[in-house]
Amino acid sequence: MRSNWRAPWLQWLVLCITTQIHLTKAQAAVSTLLVPDTNTILAVNLPADSDDINFYISTPDWYQYTAIGFGSSMADALMLVMYASADGKSVTVSPRLSSGCTEPVWTRNVGITLHASSINDNADMTVNATCNGCRALGPALPSIKTSSAAPMMFAIGPSLVLNSDDLDARIRRHSAYGQFTMDLVKATGPGGIGLDTIGNISNISLSSSTILEGDAFHRDDDKAATAHGILYAIITLAVAPFDSLVAGVLGNKRGAAGWVHGVTASAYFAFVIGAMVPGVIVSRQHVATQQFRTGHQVLGLLTIVAMTIMFLWGIALSWIKRSAKKRGQEPPEGTQRLATVHRWACRLIWALLLINVGLGMQLSGQRLVLILAYVALALGLVVVLVPVYFCIWRCSKRQKEKEEGEHELTIYDHNYR
């Protein structure tokens, strides 16, 4: 009886010891990253004799996405982009390739096996998954080399809601990023990051982990997009209406006053061209805008073309009037009609610019309250300026009628004499 009891006991003891040894080895074959600023923990395991990468990540769902990249730069790098799924309860893991400092694009060459993912009540997003065969993707594709100081990247998106099951969902430029190295030699070992390892991740020793903080973690903002938006807001809400007022009051004046509109129009045109440059730069960074086919871009380009034509049109009209004045003649009869077309076309261009700024805010994912504030400001400006323009038009018309009347009386008086 006693011998029969000892045999199973010894077998269980050997099994427990063997299991603990395997668990210790499995836990040792993991490299970790801590990002205190974002409360993010990343654990990576490279199974021996395999091209897979097992990874576990815990990060807040405060950002549009969290991304891990393999490589020293975005050019030709594999990135694992994670964001909340459509139901907000699980996580979508999208493998993407990047060709440079542009939005990475989903690739079918990489498969992801999702073992577990969840978003808890505290908005913590956790993922336990395997990137299948991603260490050697094939010719002309990035490969990940096992190194004791393998270069990697980390990034978080802006504070925008994505919630999508689409692996190719559009993402915005990161709001913070960092570059670091990870010991992938240490991470090479028995495959998998099991529940035993995940349970101990919260107690990871700081001395054995890579910590991304301080100067290594950079806050980022899209300066080109900000400059593009601010410049066009200034143009539509200040420069354009001011130039229109100057044109109405002084556009038909002669002498030095007549040149004021030329100066304001030139400044207006320079502002528009200058604001377009950062817009083109931003467009090249995102997949949805690289082909310049969005409504905001199409309307913007058409507006700039029309404005260029009107700017040259105005220069031509000014040259015709000055040439006639030098010869002591009145401008050709059709000049006034051309001036009328020029004036109303410029007003239409301003209206299109007002609309297009709103479309740009929508395209850039601005908050609804900010878009509504701009719409209210633009409508208020139009409501205030329309009566002002009407008064200017009435005053100009009366002044013209008065001058024509005085001119006719002088002729008749001369004839009667």
* Per-residue pLDDT tens over the stretch 26-63: 455 888 899 988 889 999 999 888 888 999 999 998 89
Q: Quote the DSSP letter at residue 340.
A: H
Q: How many CA atoms lie within 13 A of 352 on its CB side?
A: 20
Mean pLDDT of 13-25: 38
Residue 19 has pLDDT above 80, yes or no: no
Average pLDDT of the chain is: 81
Percent residues over pLDDT 70 in the chain: 82
Sign of the alpha-carbon dihedral angle for 94, 172, 44, 96: positive
Q: Give the per-residue pLDDT at 324.
A: 80
Residue 239 has pLDDT above 60, yes or no: yes
CA nearest neighbour of 96 among 174, 191, 33: 174
Instruction: Give yes or no for a contact between 176 and 17, defined as CB atoms under 8 angstroms apart.
Output: no
* Per-residue pLDDT tens over the stretch 347-392: 999 999 999 999 999 888 788 898 999 999 999 998 888 888 788 7
* Per-residue pLDDT tens over the stretch 173-191: 899 999 999 988 888 887 6
Distance CA 391, CA 377 (A): 22
User: Which carries the bigger pLDDT value, residue 290 or residue 276?
Assistant: 276
Residue 255 has pLDDT above 60, yes or no: no
Using alpha carbons only, give the angle 373, 156, 129 rounded to the nearest 5 degrees: 135
Mean pLDDT of 75-83: 92
* Per-residue pLDDT tens over the stretch 392-404: 777 777 766 666 5
Q: Give the per-residue pLDDT at 22.
A: 41
Residue 413 has pLDDT above 70, yes or no: no
Rounded to a whole number, what is the distance in angstroms from the first to the last CA of the chain? 151
Distance CA 359, CA 353 (A): 10
Q: Give the per-residue pLDDT at 254.
A: 56
Mean pLDDT of 255-271: 81
Q: Give the per-residue pLDDT at 416.
A: 40
Q: Give the per-residue pLDDT at 49.
A: 82
User: Which carries the bigger pLDDT value, residue 120 or residue 195?
Assistant: 120
The least confident of 76-80, 174-178, 250-254 is 250-254
Residue 166 has pLDDT above 50, yes or no: yes
Confidence band of 17 (pLDDT split at 50, 70, 90) = very low
Q: Give the per-residue pLDDT at 13.
A: 36
Residue 23 has pLDDT above 90, yes or no: no
Q: Give the per-residue pLDDT at 78.
A: 92
Distance CA 407, CA 399 (A): 12
Q: Give the per-residue pLDDT at 5.
A: 33
Residue 202 has pLDDT above 80, yes or no: no
Confidence band of 258 (pLDDT split at 50, 70, 90) = low
The least confident of 39-43, 157-161, 213-217, 373-377 is 213-217
Q: Give the per-residue pLDDT at 327.
A: 79
Instruction: Give yes or no for a contact between 99 and 124, defined as CB atoms under 8 angstroms apart.
Output: no
Strands 40-47 and 53-60: antiparallel
Confidence band of 412 (pLDDT split at 50, 70, 90) = very low
* Per-residue pLDDT tens over the stretch 282-332: 998 888 888 898 999 999 999 999 999 999 998 898 888 888 878 777 778
Q: Quote the DSSP letter at residue 155.
A: E
Supply 31's token pair: 């490299």
Q: Give the per-residue pLDDT at 355.
A: 94
Per-position DSSP letters for 180-240, written without gaps between them:
EEE-TTTTEESS---HHHHHHHTT--GGGSEE--GGGEEE---HHHHHHHHHHHHIIIIIH
Confidence band of 14 (pLDDT split at 50, 70, 90) = very low
CA nearest neighbour of 144 among 92, 97, 83: 97
Cβ neighbors of 350 (< 8 A, separation 6 or more) are: 236, 240, 241, 244
